[in-house]
Copies of this chain bind each other. A is one copy, B any other.
Amino acid sequence: MKAHASPDTFPPRGHTAKRVSIIDAAGAVFCREGFAGANIDLIAVEAGVSRQTVYNHHGDKENLFVAVVRDLSEQSNAGVFATLATFPDHPKDLEADLAAFAVRLNCNCLCNREGKFLRKLIQAEGERYPELFAEWRDEGSTKIWSALAARFARLAYAGFLDIDDPDLTARQFLALVNAELQTKFMFGQTPTEAEIRKAAANAVRTFLRAFGKQPAKARRRETIEA
């Protein structure tokens, strides 16, 4: 009885490479095939690992699934918050800066691997693991919305925007940014850089038509004066 005394946490040491390799492969397979359709043998092959190793690391198929979602959630949230830090708090050109931010948001958070996978897994298996996805929601999207809303409130206070409800504004901003990518997402396709840029530009233009202060609007039309 020398083997892993604490089987629930993790084996002794740093063979973490296999660990993440398994999680990555499992994420891909779960997404492609769904939970029921996912085959552990296939996951093992795709991870370059024997099936037994998968069981050694994560025990159960269900356990593995949970680990995958947790991992994706963490990565995704980290990405979002990192991008959120690049929000244009002191914009030079509000429209351009917001558009650039929207592009970053799309590229780094919504269109990347984690974003795609997480979205699909939530859609497919969310109802089966309410507590798991509640966790994702409470740690992730809710906080993200709040953070984004705070940024918009700040812009409004600085005189760049005219908004009533920052939370609503944040939701609508995200909705507009995604408006044109929805169809792509529906089929698991990834939009091109150019499509993302165009979508962001369209979204921000409409957003500012609704919420931009007059001076900003005017300045936008008359280009730069100084």
Contacts and interface: CB of A to CB of B under 8 A. Distances in A.
Contacts of A220: none
Contacts of A124: 34, 120, 123-124
Which bracket fits the contact residues of A?
Answer: 35 or more
Contact of A35 (B37, B127, B207): B37
A186 B126 contact: yes
A171 interface: yes
Interface stretch (A40-48, A89-97, A148-156, A177-185): A177-185
Contact of A210 (B32, B34, B210): B210
Interface string A41-74: 0000000000000000000000000000000000
Contact of A137 (B32, B126, B183): B183
Contact of A186 (B36, B123, B172, B202): B123
A24 to B, nearest CB: 19
A8 to B, nearest CB: 27
Interface in A173-226: 174-176, 178-180, 182-183, 186-188, 202-203, 206-207, 209-211
Q: Which 4 residue pairs across A and B have the least CB separation, nearest first? A: A36-B37, A175-B179, A210-B210, A34-B34
Interface of A: 32-37, 120, 122-124, 126-127, 130, 133, 137, 141, 168, 171-172, 174-176, 178-180, 182-183, 186-188, 202-203, 206-207, 209-211
22 contacts: A34-B34, A34-B35, A34-B36, A34-B124, A37-B37, A120-B123, A120-B124, A122-B187, A127-B187, A127-B188, A130-B187, A133-B186, A137-B186, A171-B179, A171-B180, A172-B206, A175-B175, A175-B178, A176-B176, A206-B211, A209-B209, A209-B210
